[in-house]
Amino acid sequence: MIGIIGAMECEIRGLVDIMSGVTCQKFASKSFYTGKIGSTECVVALSSEGKVNSAVCTQIMIDKYDPDFIINTGVAGGVGSGISIGDIVFAESVVQHDYDVSALGMEKGYVYGIDCIYGRTDEALTRELMEIAEGMSIGVHSGVVASGDQFISSREKKDFIRSTFGAKACEMEAAAIGHVCMLNGKPFAVIRAISDGSDDGAKVDFPVFAEAAAKTTIEILVKFLKKREQR
């Protein structure tokens, strides 16, 4: 079974809509849809936004469904240079940009429990997903994806996230999902489509572009699942 987590309805609906034999179970106010996409058993969950929601969702998914791996899908704000709205960013690693115990002498982003700053995504899985996106006519990037409990909409915060962590994109869940996956020894990958530039224009761009951006990630995931069926 493959696990997929998205925070917003538009980030997962396209997957649930094509599932056969779909059932929905609710735990901790989160919906878990199980069924088949093509011939692949999947559990697709709607976590809601933010690190706590997505962490709770990830732990429940692991405990109740034990997927082989978890893919976090959705939209993100562009942070790195040369990243445009509509592009796709795959996480090589994830970081919690708002986790800060530097007052205690640790580097910014250092997370207790996993005892590191950057959580590494599964390399082979990420490559497999990237190959699908590279076969489509869209901008594809890979690098650090930074998560925090903030919608980033200022040049100052965006610059902090890029200069401190070398991030290419920011959003609100990937590193929390990665954190829980690492605690459980579960491989994970992150695919994000850019809906805005994380700057002063983000408030305007996000509602305009989020849905179309989310559609692209769903397209990539469907192609990814189809390709896996053939091997």
> Which residues are the active-site residues?
11, 196
Given 196, 214, 217, 221, the residue binding ligand ADE (CB under 6 A):
196
**What 3-state class would DSSP assign to 119?**
strand
Measure the CA–CA gap between 139 and 85, rounded to whole angstroms: 9
Measure the CA–CA gap between 179 and 192, rounded to whole angstroms: 17
Angle at 224 between CA 49 and CA 45, to 5 degrees: 30
Given 34, 53, 126, 198, the residue binding ligand ADE (CB under 6 A):
198
Burial 119-148 (b: 16+ CB within 10 A, else e): bebbeebbeebbebbeeeeeebbbbbbbbb
CB of 177 to ligand ADE, least distance (A): 14
Range in contact with ligand ADE (rule: CB under 6 A) among 23-31, 102-110, 196-204, 215-223: 196-204
Asked whether the beta carbons of 178 and 111 are under 8 A apart, the reply is no
CB of 195 to ligand ADE, least distance (A): 5
**What 3-state class would DSSP assign to 168?**
strand
Q: Is 4 in the site for ligand ADE (CB under 6 A)?
A: no
Closer residue to ligand ADE in complex, CB, 128/211: 211
Which residue type does 53 have?
N
Given 18, 36, 100, 151, the residue binding ligand ADE (CB under 6 A):
151
Site size with ligand ADE, rule: CB under 6 A: 14
CB of 27 to ligand ADE, least distance (A): 24
Q: Is 171 in the site for ligand ADE (CB under 6 A)?
A: yes
Q: Is 224 in the site for ligand ADE (CB under 6 A)?
A: no
Q: Is 48 in the site for ligand ADE (CB under 6 A)?
A: no
Measured CA distances, 229 to 19, 38, 222, 224 (Å): 15, 8, 11, 9
Given 206, 214, 217, 224, the residue binding ligand ADE (CB under 6 A):
206
Closest residue by Cα to residue 7 from 223, 224, 171: 171
Closer residue to ligand ADE in complex, CB, 67/197: 197
Q: Is 121 in the site for ligand ADE (CB under 6 A)?
A: no
- Tell me which residues touch ligand ADE (CB under 6 A): 75-77, 151-153, 170-172, 195-196, 198, 202, 206
